[in-house]
Amino acid sequence: MPAQQDGFATRAVHSGSRPGRAQGATTTPIYASAGFAYETAAELEDVFAGHKPGHIYSRISNPTVAAYEERLAAVENGRGAIATASGMAALATVIMTLTRAGDRIVSNASLFGGTRRLFTALMSRYELEVVYIDLDREGELEAALNDRTRFVYLEAIGNPKLDVPDIPAVAETVHAAGIPLVVDSTLTTPFMLDAHQVGADLVLHSTTKFISGHGNSIGGALIDTGRFNWGEFPDPDLGKASSLVGKELAFLYTARQLVVQSLGNLASAFDAYLQSMGIETLGLRMERHCSNALSLARALENHPGVAAVNYPGLASSPWHETAERLYRPHYGALLSLRLGTRERAFALINALRLPKQIANLGDCKTLVIHPGSTIYHDHSADVLEASGVHDDLVRVSVGIETVDDLIADFTQALDRL
Ligand SMILES: Cc1ncc(COP(=O)(O)O)c(C=O)c1O
């Protein structure tokens, strides 16, 4: 077992691993079992009552998923984790655990389109108030907080705007208001962002992306960094959980027992297995993703056919200074290009040889998409503006290919426009 002071790569490889000892396996087996059998009625009664540890039914917990959750918590240096069926399922779990009708969520406006869609649906259907702010505008966060605000939400690097919020500064304001900060670290991953250290209370991932790493699995993760005192959170269910299991575990307990168990959005054993394997090579892949993205961004910035390159690692990014302070020397694998017109953006996508055109990111392969006509096709002009989605924008999720091949491919495609 790794120790807490071990480095990221050591924890990534050695944590949360429960090989089948009898067979000498080196990876955690996939426990494909819907439920778990016990010898005596008293034993199962004890497990149900929480007096004895054990798995009951794979909608609530599963040994493969539990080992993966242990690994997620270890790489985040968190108190514990819940592996969900998707990134959206992780977000739904946070919302359902922390809010009730009439409550307010304050969110940075630069968001993944699906997150924005869920927030909007909840506003109209369940009377939740979601207030969007621009964290780059001084005073907007403070002005949006009121006594019904249950959490503040942001993406560590915004998808697809590529803005970089100053998380420690945001955390200070949020904590002064006595509420938790929830950070979507999908684009940064635990390799780039030590969420606990910068002040996040809950971290969320679409593990579909870099954590899985190979575009072969959908998943999400929710990690409690252990900073927030849930005993002081103003909700009766968390209050009850605090008296039952202690304030340290109250969030994770409530999220699993109240929401995941009822919603049925836990990760499957097979997906947990794939994503757990992904964590073992996350650091290596992220180093390559990030260095490839920086080289490609620099090369594209000098091409006369590109109107603008957005990448936090470039000095031209308005968020470069914050990115330097929080993430140097890694700036993520996502960049975007402006081509001048939608026609040129489409033509670039059609002329590329290597990248796949896919509504995903974080694959080993380079992926491209025109967000305006796809992920954001049904969003209003205001949302497009807040998310940095222009009609001439192409988003690139830079893979781990030989970077010279990527630069040559983008160059030949741009030369043909
Ligand atoms: C930043 C971010 N958060 C959350 C999600 C949702 O994750 P999933 O697609 O796994 O539900 C995505 C998906 O693209 C994303 O990019």
pLDDT digits (tens, 9 = 90+) for 317-370: 999 999 999 999 999 999 999 999 999 999 999 999 999 999 999 999 999 999
Work out which ligand 1 atom sits closest to the CA atom of 115: 4
What's the pLDDT at 24?
Answer: 81
Which of 400, 392, 386 has the alpha carbon at shortest distance from 158?
386
Cα 204 to Cα 94: distance, rounded to the nearest angstrom: 9
What's the pLDDT at 208?
Answer: 98
Mean pLDDT of 137-160: 97
> Residues near 254 by Cβ (< 8 Å), separated by ≥ 6?
97, 237, 238, 241
Query: Which residues form the pocket of ligand 1, taking CB atoms under 6 Å from any ligand atom?
Result: 86-88, 112, 114-115, 155, 159, 184, 186-187, 206, 208, 218, 220
Work out which ligand 1 atom sits closest to the CA atom of 360: 14
pLDDT at residue 248 is higher than 80:
yes
pLDDT digits (tens, 9 = 90+) for 176-207: 999 999 999 999 999 999 999 999 999 999 99
What's the pLDDT at 123?
Answer: 81
Query: Which of 86, 117, 209 to probe ligand 1 with, by most ligand atoms within 8 A of CB?
Result: 209
pLDDT digits (tens, 9 = 90+) for 365-397: 999 999 999 999 988 999 899 899 999 999 999
3-class SS letters over 325-382: HHHCCCCCCEEEEECCCHHHHHHHHHHCCCCEECCCCCCCCCEEECHHHCCCCCCCHH
Query: Ligand 1 centroid vs 233 CA: distance in angstroms?
Result: 27
pLDDT at residue 18 is higher than 80:
no
pLDDT at residue 23 is higher than 90:
no
Query: Ligand 1 centroid vs 22 CA: distance in angstroms?
Result: 38
Q: Where are the alpha helices (DSSP H) in 55-211?
A: 63-76, 87-98, 113-126, 140-144, 167-176, 189-192, 195-198
Domains of the chain by start residue, with CATH = 8-280 (3.40.640.10), 285-415 (3.90.1150.10)
Query: Ligand 1 centroid vs 375 CA: distance in angstroms?
Result: 11
3-state helix, strand, coil in the chain (%, to 5): 45, 15, 45
pLDDT at residue 22 is higher than 70:
no
Cα 21 to Cα 392: distance, rounded to the nearest angstrom: 55
Mean predicted lDDT score pLDDT of the chain: 96
Q: Where are the alpha helices (DSSP H) in 127-258?
A: 140-144, 167-176, 189-192, 195-198, 236-245, 250-254
Q: How confident is the model at residue 20 (pLDDT cuts 50, 70, 90)?
A: low
Q: Where are the alpha helices (DSSP H) in 281-340?
A: 282-301, 320-327
pLDDT at residue 213 is higher than 90:
yes
Q: Are strands 149-155 and 129-133 parallel, antiparallel or unpaired?
A: unpaired
Q: Are strands 334-338 and 393-397 parallel, antiparallel or unpaired?
A: antiparallel
Mean pLDDT of 37-60: 95
What's the pLDDT at 5?
Answer: 85
Do 84 and 90 form a contact (C-beta atoms < 8 A)?
A: yes
pLDDT digits (tens, 9 = 90+) for 65-97: 999 999 999 999 999 999 999 999 999 999 999
Mean pLDDT of 51-66: 96
Residue nearest to atom 13 of ligand 1 (CA): 206
Which of 195, 162, 164, 163 has the alpha carbon at shortest distance from 181?
195
What's the pLDDT at 310?
Answer: 98
What's the pLDDT at 21?
Answer: 64
Residue 151 Cα distances to 19, 91, 130, 141, angstroms: 38, 12, 10, 12
Q: How confident is the model at residue 235 (pLDDT cuts 50, 70, 90)?
A: very high
Query: Ligand 1 centroid vs 184 CA: distance in angstroms?
Result: 9
Do 298 and 50 form a contact (C-beta atoms < 8 A)?
A: no
Mean pLDDT of 144-170: 98
Q: Are strands 393-397 and 367-369 parallel, antiparallel or unpaired?
A: antiparallel
What's the pLDDT at 25?
Answer: 84
